[in-house]
Amino acid sequence: MLTVVLIVLPFVAALLALRLPQQLAGRVAFLAALAELIVSVVVLFHFDKTGGLQFVFDKHWIDSLGISFSVGIDGISLLLVLLTTVLTPGIILTAWGDTSKPSSYFSLILAMQAALVGVFVAQDGFLFYLFWEMALIPIYFICLNWGGENRGKITLKFFIYTLTGSLLMLVALILLYVKTPGTHTFAIQALYEAGRSMDLPHQTFVFATMFLAFAIKMPVFPFHTWQPDTYTVAPVQGTMLLSAIMLKMGIYGVIRWLIPMVPLAVKEWGMIAIILSVIGIVYASCIAWVQKDFKRLVAYSSIAHVGLISAGTLTLNETGMQGAIIQMISHGVIVFGMFYIVEIVSARTHTREMNQLGGIRNVAPILATAFSVIMLGSVALPFTSGFVGEFLLINSLVHYQLWLGVVAGLTMILSVVYMFRAFQKTMLGETNTLTASVGDLTRQERFVLYPIVILIVLIGIYPQPLLDISATAVKNLLSVYLDVRFL
């Protein structure tokens, strides 16, 4: 039942916020997000790490089509739900006070949260697809109505691009559905069985279409060109939703809906996906290096980091999968902090051009320190959250194929090249007319950034609780690759 609460609560709150007076909306939205956080923490405390799927809720919904409202939480779902519930209050808080039409804005953020949680807990193919598309609608409006210059064109491109992917996924889901025995069903286990019993050409079709959908969402090279523009033009809360949480839908999709579904095709074609991801790491890092726009740089860095996660996931190595999951959490936290830093700096100086900035550390030392910790997480320094996942992922890639691992490992060098450059250009040196009057973090900003900084260090030093949560679920998911019947 708690799983349903997790979906319904933000949804109801979203409807409520819509009807509230503008000045109240932010507070109510924040409280609702806090309540959601508390529910998820309750789930965490009642979660049995050694068990499989828990907090299951399964009711027939559209019987004639074999669709049921089936949700449940295993370790992987739980971590992503927690990521969502931890970050959403922060996202809402960053929007307090300087948003036009707050009621609708906060309402959309909460609706987004409901859909995201839905994606991470759905145990029915149709339901998964439904939440997947539902998540697109709020973010579309957030970007369209609150975005920056040229938002109409960019948002439309983003919308069409991702919708194309999702429709392909729908085709694959229907194909799987048709292959289920009897009166057909969308239940995830039935779809797994159907997928696994298909021959290679059919599996390949499912793999190609679904991977495309997920690859666009993450995004993986070369399906990424919507991303830098969208991230840059979206309001910061939109960027955070997109980068910190929504892109995890893509990786989650690969883990939950692709790898266990079509093992033959993953084995056969996984290499291509891994190579694309690895190319993306180097390619996006290089482009990040020559960016002048601070926000765009962070957007490209996200492509690079996600490339590593997606490559490591597809190695089908238990260690790598564990690394991918903890890296999703870490990336969510870090990229959230990073975009917030970008927002704080650009809101105060009215520019994102790094060449015009500099010396901010002189006038805003706390801001600079927060930025530096987040940056260290981003370049995966040991004892920050970024290191644990990055090491496990590189480890699994070297295992898979030495040279792919080495090329992917270039991110260790390249991330320093572009991130430290950005830090130097914005924070170090002497102040100029633009930056001389930059104020340090306000209480509200500190309230958001301190937990982020603490999380980055804490997860880096003691990652084991998170790794323990996902361990059993990862074992279960990969067990199909030990089963000769399907290989």
DSSP string, 146-197: H--TTHHHHHHHHHHHHHHHHHHHHHHHHHHHHHSSTT---BHHHHHHHHHT
Give, in order, the Cα–Cα distances in Å from 388 to each of 270, 276, 469, 480, 484: 24, 23, 15, 26, 32
Q: In the structure encoding, which two tokens stand for residue 81, read together?
A: 């739900």
- The kind and range of the H/E element at 228 are helix 226-233
Residue 353's DSSP bridge partners are 293
Tell me the C-alpha distance between 116 and 133, whole Å: 10
Task: Give the 3-state secondary structure of residue 48.
Answer: coil
- The kind and range of the H/E element at 467 are helix 464-478
Q: Which of 51, 97, 152, 382 is in the footprint of another protein by CB under 8 A? A: 382
Site string for another protein, 225-264 (x = CB under 8 A): xx--------------------------------------
Tell me the C-alpha distance between 4 and 408, whole Å: 39
Closest distance of CB 118 from another protein, Å: 28
Tell me the C-alpha distance between 421 and 429, whole Å: 12
Contact status: 458 vs another protein (CB under 8 A): no
Contact status: 420 vs another protein (CB under 8 A): yes
Contact status: 322 vs another protein (CB under 8 A): yes
Q: Pick the piece of the chain touching another protein (CB under 8 A) from 40-48, 55-63, 85-93, 289-297.
A: 289-297
**Residues 6+ positions from 53 with CB-CB distance below 8 Å:** 72, 73, 74, 123
H helices within 401-463, ranges in order?
A: 402-409, 411-427, 443-461
Closest distance of CB 476 from another protein, Å: 13
Closest distance of CB 166 from another protein, Å: 16
Q: Are 357 and 431 in contact (CB under 8 A)?
A: no
Contact status: 267 vs another protein (CB under 8 A): no
Residues 147-186 that bind another protein (CB under 8 A): 157, 160-161
Site string for another protein, 468-487 (x = CB under 8 A): ---x--x-------------
Contact status: 291 vs another protein (CB under 8 A): yes
Question: Residue-wise over 340-350: b if at least 16 C-beta within 10 A, else e?
Answer: bbbbbbbebbe
Q: Which is nearer to another protein, 141 or 159 (CB)?
A: 159
Closest distance of CB 231 from another protein, Å: 14
Tell me the C-alpha distance between 316 and 391, whole Å: 16
Q: Which is nearer to another protein, 27 or 421 (CB)?
A: 421
Q: Which of 31, 290, 436, 454 is in the footprint of another protein by CB under 8 A? A: 290
Q: Which is nearer to another protein, 88 or 426 (CB)?
A: 426
Q: Which of 47, 61, 391, 481 is in the footprint of another protein by CB under 8 A? A: 391
Site string for another protein, 112-151 (x = CB under 8 A): ----------------------------------------
List residues near another protein by CB under 8 A: 157, 160-161, 222, 225-226, 283, 286-287, 289-291, 317-323, 326, 359, 361-362, 376, 381-383, 388, 391-392, 394-395, 398-399, 402, 405-406, 409-410, 412-413, 416-417, 420-421, 424, 427-430, 462-464, 467, 471, 474
